[in-house]
Structure formats: structure tokens, C-alpha cells
């Protein structure tokens, strides 16, 4: 099938709305509001009781899109925290987990079977349990059965991919309470404001030449994006962007940390998907008659305004190497601010760009039929094993 990207769609609000029946653009634009809403719900849930008896370890359990919330928390947790933070997607808990430990289970729908199994097992072992899920969901009921603390995650009808901040906010509040990370209410408020700012800049009515998310979608279209970042915030945002390109735009993308890429993935620059700068300055690199018969790489570098000198040097080296090889570059910049603000800006811009890319390709960003079919096939296989 021939590749086709309709640039005109990006500056046609009616066409954008028609191609987005799940209203993903509007859902992503609510990210700041999600933080404010969930700050209230988390406080009402009474998480202060968790500080009365500090756990030996904290176990995070989530799968699928809900697991992105745990990755955001991970990005903000320091290396020298006094509590081990362990990721256990489920369905089985490690043998050592017991009454001294806190299990936090996250599932927006509250229907993820591995997460439900973790909560049931945690209850049998006498663990303290916190669940973050839709009110009235199976996970909420499972939490009640094990006498855990439930935080109602999201009452809006939107995809989990667009509800990241509804899931993240309770985790950050608990992490701050337990001393895993420094994320006071003031920083959550700043992050919400930063998300609002990105939503305003990237709104559908903003024309492509001033809309950074539309510009990024235009740059990526027709290429293979390789999304790299130096430092934990940038690596987390790179992974999120790639996964959003997969799910929203059904578009391939590679991601990773520059530290690792420098010793491996940068070899892509010498392969058939790379391209040399054309000798003719008037040559259009997108013309079918020029260059190799492969989609070409586009390196997308995440640049933190407050990056460390080693991270800055690593990013600059990758940028220079790509430029010398004639590989096209894009940059996503996070302005100065608190760590959560900067990470929120990275994530929001990538979320918007992935949806605009989908709409330019004529792809429904909300639908993921292959994912649903895969889940159904796995469920059938498990039912067959149980018999």
C-alpha cells in the first residue's frame, strides 16, 4: 500500500473532528484537569494512613497502558530512596512479599486480570493494598474484599492512553507521602499548568506553522522515527512517545536512552535506512527517485532545558553524528521547571503529535482492534488451559 499523508487535514478543524470519533484530542487536552481532579479524589481517599506504618517495600502492579503511570513514577524516584520500589505486572507476586509490604495496583478499567490476581494474592498474604481504578470496577470490589484503600481513578469516558495523569497523580501523592519522591502538591499544580499550556499551544485550531505537535507529526510522516533521550526523564518520555505512536497512529517507532544507543542502536546510522545528504541542494529528499528504497530514519532527540553536562554532551554528540550522516533530526524541548513539569511537557507534546500523525494518515487514533483481538485470543487460550 502506498504511503499517503494528508497535510491539509491538520489545518482543517472539521476534518480533524471527523477523523477522531473517540475525541482523543480533547481527552489529551484534559491532562491538566485530570491532575487537579485526582488531587482532590486522592486526598478524599485518606492516603495519610499509609504513613502511619511505613512499609518494608512498595510493589507496583499494572499492565498495558495503565503501566505508563508506574513508569512516570519511576522517572521521578531517586536512586537512593529508603524503600525498595518493585514492579510486578502479575499475576504472581514474588515469594518474599508479605504483611510488611505495600502493594499498589493500577488499572484504569479495573478489569486487567493479572492486576486482579495480584490484589487477591496480596490480600491472602496480609499485605496492605492500594488500588487505583475506575469506581465500581472489579478491581475496586477486589480492593474492598481485602480491606484495602481504593482511589477512584477516572470518571470520564476516555481511553486509558489519554488518562495517564488520572492514574499518575495518586501514585505521586503516595510517593511523596512515603518519601519515595519529592512531589508536593505545589509541584502537581505546576505540572497541571504546564499541561494546560501545551494543550493551548497544540490545540486543533492552531495552524501547523505555529503548532509544535503538528510540526512534529509532519516531520515524522514517511520516516522511521528513532526517539532518544539522555537522562531518566527523557528516556521515560521517549518510551511513552514511541508507544503512543504505535497505539494512536499504528506507526512504527524505536526508542531508547542515549546512553545505551551510543553503544548499539547508533549503528543504524550506517545501515540502509540511513541516508546521506544529497549533493544537489535543490534535490527533494522525499522524491521517490532519490535515495535508497527504504523509509529513512528520523532521529527525534528529547532535550531537557535543565539537562546535566554529561547528558548535554551525549545529546550533542548524537546530533552531530546524525547531521554528518545526513540523517534528519527533530527536537522536543522541555522548558525549565520542576522535574514533573518538564516530564509533563515532553509527554503532552508527544501525545498530541501521535494523534495528529494518525489523523493525517487517515487512522482512527482511538481504535486498536488488533490489541482487542490479541486480548481475546489470550483469554481463549487461558480458558483452554483452565479446562
pLDDT tens digits along 76-85? 997 778 899 9
Look over the chain and give the mean of its residue pLDDT values, rounded to a whole number: 92
- Indicate the angle between helix axes 212-220 and 339-361, nearest 10 degrees: 60
pLDDT in tens, 320-371: 999 999 999 999 999 999 999 999 999 999 999 999 999 999 999 999 999 8
The mean per-residue pLDDT over the stretch 120-145 comes to 97
Q: How far is CA 131 from CA 85, 163, 351, in A?
A: 16, 16, 25
The strand pairing partners of 228, in sequence order, are 256, 301
pLDDT in tens, 2-35: 568 999 999 999 999 999 999 999 999 999 999 9
Cα–Cα distance for residue pair 8/19, rounded to 1 Å = 13
pLDDT at 288: 46
pLDDT at 379: 72
The strand pairing partners of 336, in sequence order, are none
Cα–Cα distance for residue pair 61/337, rounded to 1 Å = 30
pLDDT at 358: 98
The mean per-residue pLDDT over the stretch 103-131 comes to 97
pLDDT in tens, 270-305: 999 996 544 444 555 445 444 446 789 999 999 999
User: What is the DSSP track for 181-193?
Assistant: S---HHHHHHHHH
Q: How far is CA 302 from CA 234, 259, 279, 308, in A?
A: 6, 13, 29, 13
pLDDT at 287: 53
Cα–Cα distance for residue pair 166/198, rounded to 1 Å = 17
Contact 25, 352 (CB under 8 A): yes
- Residue-range domains of the chain with CATH: 7-22+196-361 (3.40.50.10490), 27-183 (3.40.50.10490)
pLDDT at 380: 76
pLDDT at 339: 97
pLDDT at 82: 86
pLDDT > 70: what percent of the chain?
93
pLDDT at 293: 64
End-to-end CA gap in the chain:
42
Contact 121, 92 (CB under 8 A): yes
pLDDT in tens, 207-264: 999 999 999 999 999 999 999 999 999 999 999 999 999 999 999 999 999 999 999 9
pLDDT at 284: 54
Predicted TM-score (pTM) of this structure: 0.93
Q: Is the pLDDT of residue 206 over 90?
A: yes
pLDDT at 374: 87
Amino acid at each position: 500500500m502506498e504511503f499517503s499523508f494528508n497535510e491539509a487535514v491538520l489545518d482543517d478543524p472539521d476534518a480533524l473532528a471527523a477523523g477522531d470519533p473517540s475525541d482523543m484530542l480533547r481527552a489529551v487536552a484534559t491532562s491538566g484537569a485530570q491532575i487537579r481532579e485526582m488531587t482532590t479524589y486522592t486526598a478524599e481517599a485518606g492516603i495519610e494512613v499509609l504513613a502511619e506504618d511505613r512499609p518494608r517495600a512498595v510493589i507496583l502492579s499494572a499492565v498495558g497502558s495503565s503501566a505508563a503511570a508506574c513508569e512516570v513514577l519511576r522517572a521521578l524516584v531517586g536512586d537512593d530512596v529508603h524503600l525498595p520500589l518493585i514492579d510486578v505486572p502479575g499475576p504472581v507476586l514474588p515469594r518474599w512479599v508479605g504483611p510488611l509490604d505495600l502493594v499498589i495496583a493500577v488499572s484504569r478499567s479495573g478489569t486487567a486480570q493479572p492486576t486482579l490476581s495480584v490484589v487477591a494474592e496480596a490480600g491472602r498474604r496480609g499485605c496492605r493494598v492500594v488500588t487505583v481504578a475506575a469506581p465500581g470496577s472489579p478491581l475496586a470490589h477486589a480492593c474492598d474484599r481485602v480491606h484495602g484503600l481504593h482511589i477512584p481513578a477516572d470518571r470520564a469516558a476516555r481511553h486509558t492512553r489519554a488518562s495517564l495523569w488520572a492514574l499518575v497523580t495518586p501514585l505521586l501523592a503516595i510517593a511523596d507521602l512515603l518519601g519515595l519522591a519529592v512531589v508536593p502538591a505545589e509541584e502537581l499544580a505546576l505540572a497541571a499548568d504546564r499541561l494546560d499550556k501545551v494543550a493551548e499551544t497544540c490545540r486543533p485550531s492552531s495552524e501547523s506553522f505555529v503548532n509544535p505537535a503538528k510540526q512534529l507529526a509532519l516531520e515524522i510522516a514517511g520516516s522511521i522515527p528513532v526517539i532518544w533521550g539522555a537522562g531518566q526523564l527523557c528516556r521515560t518520555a521517549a518510551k511513552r512517545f514511541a508507544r503512543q505512536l504505535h497505539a494512536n497512529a499504528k506507526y512504527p517507532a524505536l526508542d531508547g536512552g542515549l546512553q545505551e544507543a551510543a553503544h548499539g542502536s547508533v549503528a543504524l546510522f550506517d545501515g540502509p535506512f540511513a541516508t546521506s545528504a544529497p549533493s544537489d541542494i535543490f534535490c527533494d529528499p522525499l522524491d521517490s527517485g532519490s535515495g535508497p528504497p527504504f523509509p529513512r530514519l528520523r532521529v527525534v532527540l528529547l532535550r531537557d532545558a535543565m539537562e546535566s553536562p554529561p547528558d548535554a554532551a551525549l545529546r550533542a554528540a548524537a546530533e552531530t553524528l546524525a547531521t554528518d550522516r545526513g540523517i534528519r533530526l527533530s527536537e522536543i524541548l522541555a522548558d525549565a521547571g520542576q522535574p514533573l513539569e518538564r516530564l509533563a511537557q515532553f509527554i503532552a507534546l508527544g501525545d498530541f503529535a501521535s494523534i495528529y500523525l494518525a489523523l493525517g494518515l487517515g487512522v482512527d487514533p482511538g481504535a486498536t482492534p488488533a490489541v482487542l483481538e490479541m486480548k481475546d485470543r489470550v483469554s481463549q487460550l487461558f480458558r483452554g488451559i483452565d479446562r
